[in-house]
Amino acid sequence: MIKLEGVTKRYGDYTAVDDVSFVAQPGRVTGFLGPNGAGKSTSMRIMVGLTPPDRGTATIGGLKYHDIPNPGLHVGVLLDASAQHAGRTGREVLALSALTMGLKEKRVDEMLELVGLTESESKRRVRNYSLGMRQRLGIANALIGDPSVLILDEPANGLDPAGIHWMRTLLRGYAERGGTVLLSSHLLHEVEMIADDMVLIGRGKIVKQGTKAELLQTAGTFVKPESPEKLTAALAEAGIKALPSGDGGFRAECDPIVVGRAAAAAGVVLAELRPAEGAGLEEMFLELTADDARESINTQGVSA
Ligand SMILES: Nc1ncnc2c1ncn2[C@@H]1O[C@H](COP(=O)(O)OP(=O)(O)OP(=O)(O)O)[C@@H](O)[C@H]1O
């Protein structure tokens, strides 16, 4: 289990991570989502002891990373696949890790096979690897000590669709065997496909967290009226917040029955009224982080 409690990190006047608390549970894949510069990498660096927090604690299995003996046997980490030693071959990278952790050399071959790097690829220097091959090598390196916790920063970066599918299957199987997986991403659809739990971060602050099912449930209601003006007035009268979501529709932050009652009470004819789950995580993510995103997000034209 990974646990962050009130973790804060400042760089000068800038708060990169602001009072972040969440738990990544064993047996589950937790997706850590946020736009560029939201604080995902900084939080992950804090988890593995590379960046000291100004406040709060990050523990893995109840211990700070630095206090875990032979940590590679407990926590697999991939923060930056491009940061692996460019002058070493893939095989050498893994062999060094095996040596450091006191593992048998055959573990290297097992890992190469697991991540689909061929014998000849394993003998090439990392500087000649594609980004996808570096990610595969990084995942092999994270898994070599057979850890029970995985911390992966943007592991899907550079992988082709088959590679993404492979990684999803690998991580799902790992979680199903009881492992804890925390992976960061801005590839929302990818995370939606794989994660059980989600933690959404924007400008250093957690904006939402919960199970995927909970987060999708709270996506609210999509409603499309005959007359947008009449519906807007009816919803305002009932104190229901709604945003235009394109195509003459609106998204309200409450259940369809509540919206339906308000519309019926005002005699507003509806063309559509349904839970907005189908909207997927992306729209919700954009809405949740709209205040925090660099670009102002125009929800007009985004269908629910
Ligand atoms: N060493 C540092 N010194 C100063 N500012 C930093 C440092 N490291 C990170 N930051 C700032 O902290 C903020 C969070 O950065 P971080 O890399 O954690 O974001 P991220 O969510 O991982 O983004 P991305 O998806 O773009 O990788 C950014 O504004 C970044 O510029």
- Looking only at Cα atoms, what is the longest distance across the chain? 74
C-alpha to C-alpha distance for 74 and 135, rounded to whole angstroms: 20
C-alpha to C-alpha distance for 49 and 203, rounded to whole angstroms: 21
Instruction: State residue 284 phi and psi, 5-degree precision.
Output: -65, -40
Residue 40, ligand 1, Cβ within 6 A: yes
* Among 40, 79, 184, residue to substitute to test ligand 1 (most atoms within 8 Å of Cβ): 40
Residue 205, ligand 1, Cβ within 6 A: no
Task: Provide CATH 3.30.70 ranges for the chain.
Answer: 218-288
Average pLDDT over residues 215-230: 84
Closest to 21 in 3D by CA, of 35, 4, 9, 37: 4
Q: Which residue's CA is minimally distant from atom 11 of ligand 1? A: 16
- Residue-wise pLDDT for 281-291, tens only, equals 666 677 666 66
In this predicted structure, what is the pLDDT of residue 231? Answer: 93
Residue 9, ligand 1, Cβ within 6 A: no
The reply to whether CATH 1.10.10 applies to domain 218-288 is no
Residue 34, ligand 1, Cβ within 6 A: yes
Distance in Å, CA 97 to ligand 1 centroid: 28
Residue 148, ligand 1, Cβ within 6 A: no
Span of 88-102, 147-161, 171-185, 236-250 with lowest mean pLDDT? 236-250
- Residue-wise pLDDT for 167-192, tens only, equals 999 999 999 999 999 999 987 777 88
What pTM, to 2 d.p., does this model score? 0.80
Q: Which residue's CA is minimally distant from atom 30 of ligand 1? A: 37
Distance in Å, CA 11 to ligand 1 centroid: 9
Reported ipTM: the value is: 0.94
- Residue-wise pLDDT for 42-80, tens only, equals 999 999 999 999 999 999 999 999 999 999 999 999 998
Task: Provide CATH 3.40.50.300 ranges for the chain.
Answer: 2-209
pLDDT, averaged across the chain: 88
Please state the length of the chain: 304
* Among 41, 44, 199, 285, residue to substitute to test ligand 1 (most atoms within 8 Å of Cβ): 41
Scanning the structure block, which residue is given the tokens 């492992």?
179
Closest to 299 in 3D by CA, of 242, 230, 258: 242
Residue 45, ligand 1, Cβ within 6 A: no
Scanning the structure block, which residue is given the tokens 């999803």?
168
What is the topology classification, in CATH, of domain 2-209?
A: Rossmann fold (3.40.50)
